[in-house]
Structure 1
Amino acid sequence: MHRIVVHGGNAHRDDFLAVSVLLATLEEAEVLRCDPSSEHLADHKTYVVDVGMEYDPARLNFDHHQDKSLPCAFHLVMQHLGHHQDAQAVFGWYPFMSMMDVRGPHRTAEHFGVDASVLLASSSPIDGYILSRFARLEVLCPEDLLYRFMREMGKDMLALIRLKKERLGRLKREARIVAVKQFKAVVCCIEDNPKLSMELYLKSLADESVVICITPSVRGAGWELLRLGDSRLVDFRAIADCPEVLFVHANGYIATTRSLIPLEQAVQLASRAVVEPAFESDK
């Protein structure tokens, strides 16, 4: 059985995710939350993660604290597993997470031009609870519920990398760009998880005139019409009274139709939601 040694005390996203992807790729492992011994650092079946003051992938040692040029331990483990470049490409949170761990919230906030309190206020209570459960443990074994959760999370994360890459290729082949008055809309008829990799596809377009996304709805039998960004010139409240429309959000950024009406009609509805510049919605 393999062993994973990670630091004790407070748990962070870095060590939690690194352990999760390792559990996803190892047949079975025991997780120890403690300071590593010299035997741990030398053992070819023991992964030492985010502790130990040594980065030596050949010996399965993945700490970054001794070298400020290194990314977080999670990135080091992902590099070792061969998933780093793909994760960097498909997960918007991936580079940000390393920056937070290596530089801290204040330097990260400075990089993005925001106040550090914004980053701290956006932290998730779900994250906090799960990390606190991990922090309470000294040993994590295959029969433990949290072990199974972390392993499945790691497997899902690695599978999602592959799925997002595949979907991006499919979007590039199948999605269409159509005119909606002076703007454009991206239209895609994929029904299974229709928004998967859409942000990557839009990034690849690099076209600020694409302001609407039209896809099958995941919460009904019709189309979803979504405003991209926060353009005040797209307001779906303008089509709220149309008989084909089932729902319009009170802020006007999203609408759904009752059924999958002909796509041309859905595009016409989207065009009607592009309001004249003289009239600006409040959201």
Structure 2
Amino acid sequence: MTSPDTLTAARALLESRSISPSELLQEYVRNIEAAEPQVKAWKVLRLDEAREQARALDRKISTLQQLPLLFGIPYGAKDIICTQGIPTEAGSRVLQGHIPDEDATVIKILKGQDAVLLGKTTTTEFANLGNPPPTTNAWNAGHTPGGSSSGSAAAMGARMALFTLGTQTAGSISRPAAFNGVTALKATFGRISKTGVYPCGRSLDHVGAFTHSVEDSALVFNALSGPDPTDEATRYLPYQPLSIRSHKDYTL
């Protein structure tokens, strides 16, 4: 079996029970083992925990008539997004060894969706212009992956996950997406909660995602967006899902 090219394709395989969550995860573990020694996209990998979760989902899937949007989907999260019990260091020695007591809102949502967290991806220091991570471009080790969401974009370019979370204050999603040849989503300000994400500029910060298609980006957006009473920018905005359409629906 080869890794599904997109989140949408993987979801279809899971829905038809043509692949199990453990089998899907193993495809991406193999990709990580092959690419990560060169790309260095990950700050923390938690593959044993991911395997354990996937085995639990193998049992759970038989009890579900309809799967959550991101059920069983392997993903990564930028290392400025807090993860309970998992180091979150924001690319800085200042936070070395820091383990949050609580998940960011987006991580809580993804846990509720039964998405499978592979680990934390690298970032420039505090998602700013500080120390760059050791991450290389997914296509050419001699080139930069861009920043600040360096690891999230490079991991996607090297097909080590089906989506990854990043953040943008200026160009920290769009730039590395372009450099690594992947699709980027920077949602409208306030559509995705920033609670639990280390701030760079609170009135400019956005949480977004890297995927392999616009259709995948819409799926991630629909899973993550919505009001959050703990985020002043997101608190009062109604849930407005994107229409998910295939490229085949569009004609020139």
* TM-score band, normalised by shorter chain: under 0.3
Larger Rg: 1
Q: Give the TM-score of the pair, scaled to structure 1.
A: 0.21
Q: Give the TM-score of the pair, scaled to structure 2.
A: 0.23
Which has more strand, going by share of residues?
1
Which has more helix, going by share of residues?
1
Higher relative contact order structure (alpha carbons within 8 Å, sequence separation ≥ 6): 2
